[in-house]
Amino acid sequence: MTFKYWQNHALYWRDFILDLIFPKECVGCGQEGSWLCPSCYQKLEFSKVQYCLNCKTENNSGEFCPNCRNEYYLDGVTIVGNYDDKIINHLIKMLKYHFIKDVAIILGNYLVDFLQKTHNLPILKITKIPIVIPVPLHKRRRRWRGFNQTKEIAEITAKHFQLKINATNLIRIKHKKAQAKLNEEQRLKNVAGCFAWRGENLTGANIILIDDVVTTGATLNECAKILKQNGASQVWGMVIAKG
Ligand SMILES: [Zn+2]
Ligand SMILES: [Zn+2]
């Protein structure tokens, strides 16, 4: 063992321990103690409009309009917040790229508050009690990240509204390229065949599919296709923000 080895080793452990004890700071105001302090949380706004994801015609719920409905398996997508909001943007990035699981709790509560305060939700539009399903990650990616952020958000939502949750039977069977760099047509091809349902028939079930961010809706729509092929009646996407 050389001195250099031990020096590097010591530096590694020093950084490791600093990371452990380094205090959490509010992404809004920098106050120590949490990733988002209560007063910055109170300032978060909800999305003021919902619209057909395809043609952007506004409505109350995010349902696809009569003109666009036939092009989708999904019935609609409800968007909770604004990706332009610096705090929301920051929290989603922390969750996705910095593996900070506690942030999922903040975003899960934010989604619950949205549902409670706005009453603008697919749960009210569909009569039969829905099942909450998170958009799954491929197991390789889940292992790498340590958790599935959408599952954490879905669990908080389901628990609060005492809804059934199924986080195990919709699975991602293919690990494809990240969608971020692709255009709309490429996204559709990229997600085709990525998901499978490994559960009982969903005959007549209404589903709320949870994801963190929606862009074109290609991923949610591919999940909806699989769920409807397995008997689901309505499938609604519910996301924290539109990217
Ligand atoms: Zn703050
Ligand atoms: Zn439309």
| pLDDT at residue number 141 | 74
Residue type, 27: V
**CA distance linking residue 52 with residue 194, whole number of Å:** 25
* Distance of CA 37 from the midpoint of ligand 1 (Å): 4
Residue 159 domain boundaries: 50-242
Q: Do 78 and 111 sit in the same domain of this protein?
A: yes
Is 130 found in the same domain as 87? yes
Largest CA distance in the chain: 72
> What pLDDT score was predicted for residue 238?
94
Q: In CATH, what number is assigned to the domain containing residue 146? A: 3.40.50
Q: Is there a single domain that holds both residue 67 and residue 15?
A: no
Same domain, 101 and 175: yes
Residue 133: enclosing H or E segment and its boundaries? Answer: strand 131-134
How far does the centroid of ligand 2 lie from the alpha carbon of residue 71, in Å? Answer: 10
Tens place of pLDDT for every residue, the chain, 243 residues?
566 666 667 666 765 665 565 568 899 999 988 889 999 999 999 998 999 999 999 998 899 999 999 999 999 999 999 999 999 999 998 887 776 778 899 999 999 999 888 765 555 556 567 899 999 987 777 777 777 889 999 999 999 988 999 999 999 988 766 666 777 777 777 788 899 999 999 998 999 999 999 999 999 999 999 999 999 999 999 999 998
Distance 154 CA to ligand 2 centre (A): 27
Q: Which residues contact 154 (CB under 8 A, 6 or more apart)?
A: 108, 132, 133, 134, 165, 167, 210
> 76 - beta bridge partners?
63, 236
Q: pLDDT value at position 192?
A: 85
Please, are residues 115 and 161 in contact by the beta-carbon 8 Å criterion? Answer: yes
Query: 227 and 160: one domain?
Result: yes
CB-CB contact of 150 with 134 (8 Å): yes
For residues 57 and 31, state if they share a domain. no
42 alpha carbon – ligand 1 mean position (Å): 9
Residue with tokens 């949610």: 220
pTM across the whole model: 0.85
Check the CA dihedral 32-36-38-43 and report its sign.
positive
Nearest ligand to the C-alpha atom of residue 53: 2
Alpha carbon of 169 to ligand 2 centroid (Å): 31
Same domain? For 123 and 199 the reply is yes
Question: 90 and 8: one domain?
Answer: no
Number of domains in the chain: 2
pLDDT recorded at residue 20: 66
Does one domain contain both 25 and 58?
A: no
| Strands of the 131-134 sheet, one edge to the other | 76-81, 234-242, 206-214, 131-134, 164-165
Which ligand lies nearest to the CA atom of residue 71 in the structure?
2
Calpha distance 167→136 (Å, rounded): 8
Are 103 and 123 contained in the same domain? yes
Transcribe 171-217 into DSSP letters.
EE------GGG--HHHHHHHHTT-EEE-SS--TT-EEEEEEEEESSS
**CA nearest neighbour of 96 among 47, 133, 146:** 146
CA of 67 to the centre of ligand 2 (A): 5
Around ion ligand 1, which residues have CB less than 5 A away?
26, 28-29, 31, 37, 40
CA of 239 to the centre of ligand 1 (A): 23
Q: Which ligand is nearest to the CA of 66?
A: 2
The ligand minimizing its distance to the Cα of 86 is 1
User: 213 alpha carbon to ligand 1 midpoint, in Å?
Assistant: 23
Two structure tokens written together for 210: 């949870």
Are 30 and 58 members of one domain?
Answer: no
- Same domain (yes/no): 107, 220: yes
pLDDT at position 88 is 95
